Structure formats: C-alpha cells, structure tokens
C-alpha cells in the first residue's frame, strides 16, 4: 500500500456559535487506505467530514488535500479536485431516475470528461451495483433504503473520486443489507483504487473493512491505531459506546 499522503487535517477547530464542535483535530489519510472515523453520536464525526469537503469553514487549522491547502474553499471547487462526500441519509434525487442520478454525479466533471468516458463510468458502477442496472429507469425514491444507499455511493463514484468521504452508509439499514453495503465499500478500493474516509455506526464492521482508524470524543481525537489495535482496546469501546465496558 502506498504511503503517499492524500489528506492532512491539521489542528482544525469548528464552532456552531458558542458550541465547540471540533477542538484541534488532526488526522491523515494515505493514498489507497480505508480509514475509519469512530465515535459516539454527537462526537464530531460528521462535522469533521463537512469541514474536509468544504461544507463548513473551520475557525482555525488547515485542510491539506493532495498537497494543496483547501481550507475554506467552496465545496463545488473541492468536488472538482475529486474529493467527494457522500453524506448521511443518502440525499439522492428521489424524483429522478437512477440513471439521471448517476449522470448528475458526473456534472462537475462534464467539461473535462467526454461522453464516452462518462458512459464507461456508468458501465463500471453497474458492474459493481448490478441492482442499479436492473432499475436504471426507476425513480430513486421508490427503491428500498439499501438500494438508495447503493445509488448514493454509485453517484459519488461517477465523480471519479481520489478520496471518498462516506458518512454512515449503513444508517437505518437491516443488518444483512448493511453487511452488503460495507462489502461494497471494500470493493470500491479493490476495483477502483478509491481511498476512503469512513464513518460507520457499527464499530466492528467498520474496523473489519478499514486499515486503521481514529477515535473522536467531544470534538477531539483521543486515540488512533490499526484496526486490530482499536478493536481490542477497551477505551475505544467506552468512547464509542458512551459508557464503560467491563
């Protein structure tokens, strides 16, 4: 695996008015890695991803992506740099077809990607998500939760991400469906070489697919390590679950 650094978050703080959501957070993601971001609800995970993708502006600190300072850059400009954020709750275009959702995923690269390349990318995502091929003319909002999540990820892949931010991709899904979605997350790296920063509610499932992880609690990174190290750390379970594990 390459050790080329793709993302550096350096001492970032974010506030919502008087509320400090992130306090001096630093982390890095190397090319080709899957890195899990772990923590209880309200720990600051989503805020961190939104800061990286330009949806939030940090009050201090820097976000360095592919060697460029993108701190405070407009989100659409960051998308053009192939840093793609698939938010929680899917947020697909429910009144549009699966195929039109995928075309919209390529929108920001329409000036630099020709129609043939876009069609090739659609073919690739259909190979990875065959259910979407079967339902390409179906309205997105009429599909099951698991299928909509697959569509959200596939739409993100249409933007040809070098770094994919995935926020709770299995949220609200039945256990078997959630397992399938996380397996597909692993397939994104195998088949496309995509680097992924993952928020996932299931501690064990996320660390099974990730190479390493960071634990965030009350807006601060309190621990980091390999997946195996974190899985066996009682402090991680305490921070993640919000109570002491005996």
Domain ranges within the chain, ordered by starting residue = 5-241
Q: What is the DSSP letter of 133?
A: H
Note whether 57 and 175 are within 8 A (CB): no
Instruction: Compute the distance between CA of residue 42 and CA of residue 33 in angstroms, rounded to an integer.
Output: 25
CATH code linked to domain 5-241: 3.40.50.300
Structure confidence at residue 54 (pLDDT)? 96
The whole-number average pLDDT for the span 134-144 is 90
First to last CA, the chain: 36
Interval 172-188: pLDDT, tens: 788 888 888 888 888 88
Average pLDDT over residues 119-126: 87
Q: Say if pTM beats, i.e. exceeds, 0.95.
A: no
């Amino acid at each position: 695996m390459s050790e080329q650094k793709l993302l550096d978050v350096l001492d970032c703080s974010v506030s919502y008015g008087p509320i400090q959501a992130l306090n001096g957070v630093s982390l890095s993601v190397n090319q080709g890695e899957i890195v899990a971001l772990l923590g209880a609800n309200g720990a600051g995970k989503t805020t961190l991803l939104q800061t990286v993708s330009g949806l939030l502006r940090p009050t201090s600190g820097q976000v360095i992506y592919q060697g460029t300072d993108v701190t405070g850059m407009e989100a659409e400009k960051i998308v053009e740099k192939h840093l793609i954020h698939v938010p929680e709750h899917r947020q697909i275009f429910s009144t549009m077809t699966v195929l039109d959702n995928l075309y919209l995923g390529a929108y920001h690269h329409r000036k630099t990607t020709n129609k043939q390349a876009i069609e090739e990318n659609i073919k690739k995502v259909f190979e990875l998500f065959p259910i979407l091929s079967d339902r390409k003319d179906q309205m997105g909002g009429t599909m099951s939760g698991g299928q909509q999540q697959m569509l959200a990820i596939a739409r993100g892949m249409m933007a040809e991400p070098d770094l994919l931010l995935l926020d709770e991709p299995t949220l609200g899904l039945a256990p078997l469906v959630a397992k399938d979605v996380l397996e597909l997350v692993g397939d994104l790296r195998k088949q496309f070489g995509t680097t992924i920063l993952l928020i996932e509610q299931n501690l064990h499932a996320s660390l099974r697919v990730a190479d390493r992880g960071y634990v965030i609690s009350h807006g601060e990174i309190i621990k980091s390590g390999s997946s195996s190290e974190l899985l066996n750390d009682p402090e991680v379970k305490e921070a993640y679950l919000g109570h002491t594990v005996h």
